[in-house]
Amino acid sequence: MSTKTHFNSESPILEVKNLQTAFEIDGELHNAVDNVSFNVKPKQIIGVVGESGCGKSVMSLSVMKLLPKGIGSIRGGEVIFEGKNIENLSDKDMNKIRGKDVSMIFQEPMTSLNPVFTIGYQLQETLFNHMAITKKEARLKSISLLKSVGISRPEKIIDEYPHQLSGGMRQRVMIAIAIACQPKLLIADEPTTALDVTVQAQILDLLRDIQEINNMAIILITHDLGVVAEMCDEVIVMYAGKIVERTDVDTLFHNPKHPYTELLMGAIPKMDEDVEVLSSIEGIVPSLKNMPKIGCRFANRCPKAMPECKSISPLLAETEAGHEVSCLLYESSMPNEGANVR
Ligand SMILES: Nc1ncnc2c1ncn2[C@@H]1O[C@H](COP(=O)(O)OP(=O)(O)OP(=O)(O)O)[C@@H](O)[C@H]1O
Ligand SMILES: [Mg+2]
């Protein structure tokens, strides 16, 4: 039951505005997420893609206010969840929202379940944190949650420990914990990467079913464009801490504009090839310390780079309705470089 009178279902559930998240390395601040803006509407599934090190996890941890304390911090911009700027929320208030209104499935499922507690304990802990229910009710609800994520014999599994379960089962448990309080937004960071293809498909089907039943929005982070095609409404392509392209899923696949996106598309492996997805773009994502200070961060790997790409920083701009690209190829004229946001 919501008491938030200012929020209606047409508003975005999440607004990220010019988010800058920095890590301190050798006494200097480096932005791992740099000027990122996007909205998530209720029930929308937004895919976030980009190679390793592009800032996908740091972006999600920023939204959850779960950055490693003293190491990473939000340095600029705003994260607004259901109309509330999370910067202004105390740890206590954030704890009330986290797990209840917004949940996250972390990239490393093996490390996010606590090995010393039973599955039931960990599920019930989440329920007790957010609901006024008895022990007996919590146990029954946990069993029904485990059942809802396709775990057979939930009455037995509830008393087992994480190491007694397969990777797929652990991931289902993670999902059960994440959806226990029917969040309005789920951030799923590579929810299926560690799993084999069949289990992967089952978990994605499960997420979609839950999304429909619970009317929840999902930010789905993945290396796998096949997953994006199957699951997402909109896609954000990140490169070196920035959004380089954002559009609906059909446009992304049929009319990609940024050369990085085009290369990602070309990097989709064929079904029968057992190769790492996104492995075939030459070069690597720059580390935070080696980030180009001006110009397009992709310029030195870009097959379409022009001389000015190394000196003029492109801005993310709408090239047509609902399609944003950050590339000089699509900018007719640029003001002087000093005026640009890096
Ligand atoms: N705790 C940290 N301290 C310093 N730098 C960090 C830390 N965590 C992440 N980074 C840096 O921030 C950048 C973004 O990392 P992030 O983990 O968000 O990438 P990612 O897109 O999630 O990659 P992957 O696909 O491998 O999960 C990288 O350059 C990474 O090295
Ligand atoms: Mg990550």
* Separation of CA 222 and ligand 2 centre (Å): 9
Residue 119 near residue 160, CB atoms below 8 Å = yes
User: How far away, in angstroms, is 240 Cα from ligand 2 center?
Assistant: 12
Q: What is the pLDDT of residues 116-165, one digit of tens each?
A: 999 999 999 999 999 999 999 999 999 999 998 889 999 999 999 999 99
CA-nearest of 50, 51, 160, 61 to 106 is 61
How do residues 176-197 score in pLDDT, each as one tens digit? Answer: 999 999 999 999 999 887 778 8
Task: State residue 269's pLDDT score.
Answer: 53
Candidates 54, 64, 73: which one to mutate for ligand 1, based on the most atoms within 8 Å of Cβ?
A: 54
C-alpha of residue 215 to centroid of ligand 1, in Å: 30
- For the stretch 22-72, pLDDT in tens is 999 988 999 999 999 999 999 999 999 999 999 999 999 999 999 998 899
Chain mean pLDDT for the chain:
88
Residue 276 pLDDT greater than 50, yes or no? no
Mean pLDDT lowest for which of 20-29, 110-119, 308-317? 110-119
Ligand 1 atom index nearest CA of 50: 21
Query: Measuring CA to CA, which residue among 167, 22, 26, 176 is closest to residue 108?
Result: 167
CA angle 22–260–339, rounded 5-degree value:
55
- The residue with tokens 């720059």 is 286
| For the CA of 241, the nearest atom of ligand 1 | 14
Q: Whose CA is nearest to atom 5 of ligand 1?
A: 23
**Looking at residue 8, what DSSP letter applies?**
-
Among the bound ligands, name the one nearest to the CA of residue 105. 2
Confidence of residue 277 (pLDDT cuts 50, 70, 90): very low
Confidence of residue 336 (pLDDT cuts 50, 70, 90): very low
Tens-place pLDDT, residues 217-253: 999 999 888 899 999 999 999 999 999 999 999 999 9
Nearest Cα residue to 105 out of 166, 137, 57, 54: 57
- Structure tokens belonging to residue 289: 């310390």
Confidence of residue 7 (pLDDT cuts 50, 70, 90): low
* Ligand 1: lining residues by beta carbon, under 6 Å: 23, 32, 50, 52-58, 68, 71-72, 107, 287-288
Strand 317-320 to 323-325 pairing: antiparallel
Pick from 25, 33, 36, 57 the residue to mutate for probing ligand 1's pocket: most ligand atoms within 8 Å of its CB. 57
Q: Which residues surround ligand 2, an ion (CB under 5 A)?
A: 56-57, 107
The protein residue with its alpha carbon nearest to ligand 1, atom 7, reads 23
CA angle 186, 192, 197 (to 5 degrees): 145
- Tell me how far the alpha carbon of residue 113 is from its chain's centroid: 19
Continuous H helices in the chain: 56-64, 91-97, 109-112, 119-130, 135-148, 154-157, 167-179, 197-214, 225-231, 249-254, 259-266
Ligand 1 atom having least distance to the Cα of 285: 29
